[in-house]
Amino acid sequence: MRRAHTVQQVRAAEAERMALLPEGALMAAAAHGLARAVAAFLGGTYGRRVVLLVGSGDNGGDALHAGAGLARDGAWVEAWLLSDRPHAAGLAALRRAGGRVREHGALPTSVPPDRVPDVVVDGIVGIGGRPGLRDEARAALAVLAGVPVVAVDVPSGVDVDTGETPGPHVVADLTVTFGTLKPAHLLDPASAACGAVELVDLGLGLPAAPVEALGAADVAALLPVPGGRDHKYTRGVVGVRSGSATYPGAGLLSVAGAACGLAGMVRYVGDSAVADRVREAHPEVVGAGRVQAWVVGSGGGAAAGEELAAAVADGVPVLVDADALAHVPDLDRSTGAPLVLTPHAGEAASLLGVERADVEARMLTHARDAAARHDAVVLLKGRRTVVAAPDGRVRVNTTGTPWLGTAGAGDVLGGLTGALLAAGLDPFDAASVGAWLHGAAAVLVSRGGPIVAGQVAGAVADVVRGLPGRS
């Protein structure tokens, strides 16, 4: 499990750690890790040209001390000071190591072609900085445009705790962070500005993290696996109420996701013409009967509201997608049926009465808002899908490929997640594991090329076989 902690949590943990260590030891450890990461990024240090963009505070100090280490190892290092209050000890260390310094207010407006650096180290602002960049920082970045960037802790200018990017910010090729991940490393849009993320362990004692990301071992531990006494009913029966005469493919793809093998049986209830096509494509799928979870809404059209009400009346967990989402605010929730809502940004915007662009800019905020408002687990789909529980817990899915942006992919995801609900996972785990498997299956079947949604459903079994502990 990858865990991301807030600025307040990190600051408190750092303070506890520093109280047990000699003065400056924590910064020295961070700077050493940063210098090693930059050296690895460059493929060596001797003769390499490094420019440090240095703000005030400890983030600039990390950059300066790392620059000193790189200079001692043979790199040409120059610090561009973006503040008149740079970290004094770090600046002294860089000068002792032979590094050069461009004073605040005297930064170059261009770089000669023969002096273009091999890398820029972004030490402008750290995790305590406000979103956005000051004019001087923007000007320095413009002069160095096109040069690879290594960010110190987070790309300067992003909102660390929310992953939002409301103003100008650094776009890094590599981010070297310290102690723990921060939400901005996982959440879009900020995560897209981080590049690869490398964690330097500082031995911090940290509390429970508000944002997590599953890994393969976590999925393997959560995934329901049948035992010797299980049969099709004990493994879970998932019902699908999706598709229509207008959108029969949505029903077929929802069933394909549900029939990935993670539940013991799939039932289809819906348009008779769609049911005929479902039976042709999936002869193992049966008709109406008792279920442990429902999947409702994909391609359901005008009937989606009625299908949703019927599913919720059963009192079992219900995954709500697409056309059924609009009916959630008016639902009778008296049966206590747990809900998993799976909107994309546009559907979430309609649920919340905001603009789609605002949802995409503030994924964490809106996923949590929707979860609390509708007392449901919300799986907000995107490049980095956000799964939020009503109590505020969040997981971010990091599997997938851009090729997964294809028609019907969400229908498969809904069916797959419904199967996990029927198999016994609670809604938060089912949504998290479903998103992970869906993305991993897309990567597996894509192999770097285009895919269609039906291929994703067919690849889930191979992903499960490849999980740790499987043979």
DSSP state string for 403-448: GG-STTHHHHHHHHHHHHHHTT--HHHHHHHHHHHHHHHHHHHHTT
What is the rounded distance in angstroms from the CA atom of residue 392 to the CA atom of residue 319? 19
Q: Strands 386-388 and 377-380: what pairing?
A: antiparallel
Q: Is 315 annotated as a binding residue?
A: no
452 and 305 housed in the same domain: yes
- The DSSP secondary-structure symbol of 222 reads H
The residue out of 213, 243, 278 marking a domain boundary is 213
Burial of 392 from C-beta contacts in 10 A (0-12 / 13-18 / 19+): exposed
- Asked if 181 and 299 sit in the same domain, the reply is no
Counting beta carbons within 10 angstroms of the beta carbon of residue 437, is it exposed (0 to 12), middle (13 to 18) or buried (19 or more)? buried
Q: Does residue 243 sit in the same domain as residue 208?
A: no
Where does a domain end: 213, 240, 266? 213
Indicate whether 266 belongs to any domain: yes
**Residue found by looking up tokens 């006494």 in the block:** 229
Q: Would you say residue 70 lies in a domain?
A: yes
The pLDDT value given to residue 471: 58
Q: Print the domain residue range for 374.
A: 216-465
Task: Fill in the amino acid letter for 381.
Answer: K
The answer on whether 397 is annotated among ligand-binding residues is no
List, as one string, the DSSP characters of 344-387: -HHHHHHHHTS-HHHHHH-HHHHHHHHHHHHTSEEEE-STT-EE
Residue 411 in marked binding region? yes
Residue 132, marked binder:
yes
- Per-residue pLDDT, 236: 97
Task: Please tell me the distance from the alpha carbon of residue 249 to that of residue 122, in angstroms, as a whole number.
Answer: 48
Known binding residue 59? Answer is yes
Q: Is 410 annotated as a binding residue?
A: yes
Dist. CA 361–CA 195, nearest whole Å: 18
Residue 290 marked as a ligand binder: no
Are residues 383 and 428 both part of a single domain? yes
What is the mean pLDDT for each group of 10 consecutive residues in the chain (471 residues)? 97 96 96 98 97 95 98 98 95 98 94 96 94 96 98 98 98 98 98 98 97 98 95 97 94 97 97 94 96 96 96 98 97 97 98 98 98 98 98 98 96 98 98 98 97 96 93 58
CB neighbours of residue 199 within 10 Å: 16
- Domain boundary residue among 176, 193, 213? 213
The count of structural domains within the chain is: 2
Q: Are residues 305 and 197 part of one domain?
A: no
Query: Is residue 102 annotated as involved in ligand binding?
Result: no
Pairing mode, strands 386-388 and 394-396? antiparallel
Q: Is 299 assigned to a binding site?
A: yes
| 129 in a known ligand binding site | yes
Residue 382 among known ligand-binding residues: yes
248 is in an annotated binding site: no
Does residue 381 have a known ligand-binding role? yes
What pLDDT shows up at residue 244? Answer: 94
> Does residue 470 fall inside a structural domain?
no
Task: State both tokens at 394.
Answer: 């969040």
**In terms of DSSP bridges, do strands 2-4 and 49-54 run parallel, antiparallel, or are they unpaired?**
unpaired
114 is in an annotated binding site: no
Euclidean distance between CA atoms 320 and 311, whole angstroms: 10
- Please report whether residue 471 resides in a domain: no
The pLDDT value recorded for residue 157 is: 98
> Are both 279 and 352 inside the same structural domain?
yes
153 labeled binding residue: yes
* Nearest-angstrom CA–CA distance, 378 and 363: 11
Residue in 243, 194, 278 with CA at minimum distance from that of residue 2: 194
Bridge partners of 55, per DSSP, are none
- 434 labelled as ligand-binding? no
177 and 220 inside one domain: no
Instruction: Please report whether residue 274 resides in a domain.
Output: yes
Whether residues 223 and 172 fall in one domain: no
450 is a domain residue: yes
Same domain, 244 and 318: yes
Same domain, 232 and 338: yes
180 in Cβ contact with 209 (< 8 Å): yes
Tokens found for residue 114: 């023969």
Q: Is 61 annotated as a binding residue?
A: yes
Residues 384 and 331 in one domain: yes
CATH number for the domain including 241? 3.40.1190.20
Helix 427-446 × helix 409-422 angle, to 10°? 130
The CA-atom distances, in angstroms, between 244 and each of 259, 303, 377 are: 19, 8, 26
Q: Does 60 carry a binding-site annotation?
A: yes
Burial label, 284 (beta-carbon count in 10 A; 0-12, 13-18, 19+): exposed
CATH of the domain at 154: 3.40.50.10260
